[in-house]
Structures are given as structure tokens and as C-alpha cells.
Amino acid sequence: MDLIMALKPKSVLDIGAGYGKYGVLCREYLELWDGRQNYYERLRRIDGVEVFENYITPLHKYVYDHIYIGDIIKLVSQIDFKYDLVLLIDVLEHFSKLEGESLMTKLLEKNIGILISTPRKPTVQKEAFGNVYESHRSRWRKQELARFGNSYFINDPVSFIGYISQKEHIQKLKSELILMKIKKSSEVSSLISSWKYYTNKYIKQKVPDSLIKWNERAD
């Protein structure tokens, strides 16, 4: 979620919404953690796409502003809205290479950027939950994904996770991630300093060496 929070999108299209996990997370992190402290006012547009209608529950209808039901391969040309961020989380491997390449190209033409996650080594998976679209049909390499445009990938042992967009948006993302890291380091440093003070004054306990070393690295 750090990538999504750093991007600060005003509109999100969650393709392959499934259980609604990322719709919920986006709604929480983007709406409730933005400093407004307004539980009910929604300022972001978060839409979902789901090919298997049986997955849709009242949760989806509460979280998403709109849910497109159908195959995104067919819907992509019909959706008349430019999203700040498109989520393709564990989705691309469910398409053939040709379908995936076509989808990526069309999405990038119509929207600002795509956050993608696809397994490095997809398992053999066929129909599941009565849904034929759950089958895995392709395996992607990082180099293939990077060919779609300017990209920024984070290290992950299980999946290729990256953001693809125009150069200016990639640079903005990197800057925001650095600021977030600095803020987190400052918060931890402040916490350790407070811990040192109170333990020395009242408890006389030693701060764990592991935390001290972490703080020194952060400094």
C-alpha cells in the first residue's frame, strides 16, 4: 500500500476486484488516512471490474463507486473515464500473452498509470470457485513488463511489483517514497529517544541493541 499512498490517486480502477480486498484498502488508506478525519465524506472515485458476477457482494457495492461486470478485454474500450491509477494485482497471469499485451497498451493509452503485481513463478491453477477465469495462462518476466513504458519496480521475492507510467509520474513517485521513508525514520528515532529517556529515568532498562543499531543506520 506504500506505493498507492505515495501516488495519492484521486481515482482508481481495480481490475479483477475479486473479494474486494484492494477496494477496501484503497478506500481506507486514501480516505481515512489523508488527515481530514472525516469518516463518511468520500473524495476519491474507486471503481472495480469483475468478470465473475457471483463474487459480487454487498461489500463491493458499499466500497466501490461503480462495478463493471464483464471481461476487461472487452470493457477496456467502453470505459469512458481516465483514471489516475489502474490496479492489475494478480490479474495479468490470467490472460494469454497476446491478450495481456493488448490490455496493457490500451490501459496506458487511456489512463495515467498502472500498478501491477504478477507472480514470478505462477502455480498451475485451473478453474476455481466455479470460475473458469481463475486459471493461470501466462508467466511474465520483469523485462517484458518494463517494455510497456517508464517503470519503477520494488524488490519482492514472490512477485514482480511495479508502477508503469510517464517519466514525470515515476519521478514524482520516487520523491514521495523518499519523503515517506524519512518520515518513518524520524518517527522511529523519536520513539527510541522517548524510550531511552523514560527507561533511564524510571525503569533503568537498556534499549535493545537491535533498535539502537537500526536508529543509527536511519540517522
- pTM score: 0.82
Residues 6+ apart with CB under 8 A from 68: 47, 48, 49, 50, 75, 79
- How far apart, in whole angstroms, are the C-alpha atoms of residue 146 and residue 214? 33
What are the cell numbers at 50? 469483475
Query: Could you tell me the residue range of the domain that residue 40 belongs to?
Result: 2-165
The residues with which 12 forms a beta bridge, in sequence order, are 46, 85
Q: Is 150 within the bounds of a domain?
A: yes
Q: Is 185 within the bounds of a domain?
A: yes
Report the percentage of the chain scoring pLDDT > 90: 68
The verdict on 182 and 124 lying in the same domain is no
| Local confidence band at 156 (pLDDT 50, 70, 90 cut-offs) | very high
The verdict on 93 and 145 lying in the same domain is yes
- How far apart, in whole angstroms, are the C-alpha atoms of residue 147 and residue 145? 5
Report the percentage of the chain scoring pLDDT > 70: 84
Tens-digit pLDDT profile for residues 201-214? 555 445 556 555 55
**150-154/113-119 β-pairing:** unpaired
Q: Could you give the number of structural domains in the chain? A: 2
The answer to whether residue 39 scores a pLDDT higher than 90 is no
| Average pLDDT estimate for 30-53 | 89
| Average pLDDT estimate for 19-34 | 92
Tens-digit pLDDT profile for residues 62-118? 999 999 999 999 999 999 999 999 999 999 999 999 999 999 999 999 999 999 999
At residue 203's C-alpha, the angle toward residues 197 and 213, to 5°, is 55
Tens-digit pLDDT profile for residues 162-182? 999 999 999 999 999 988 888
At residue 169's C-alpha, the angle toward residues 144 and 173, to 5°, is 90
Q: Is 46 within the bounds of a domain?
A: yes
Q: Is 170 within the bounds of a domain?
A: no
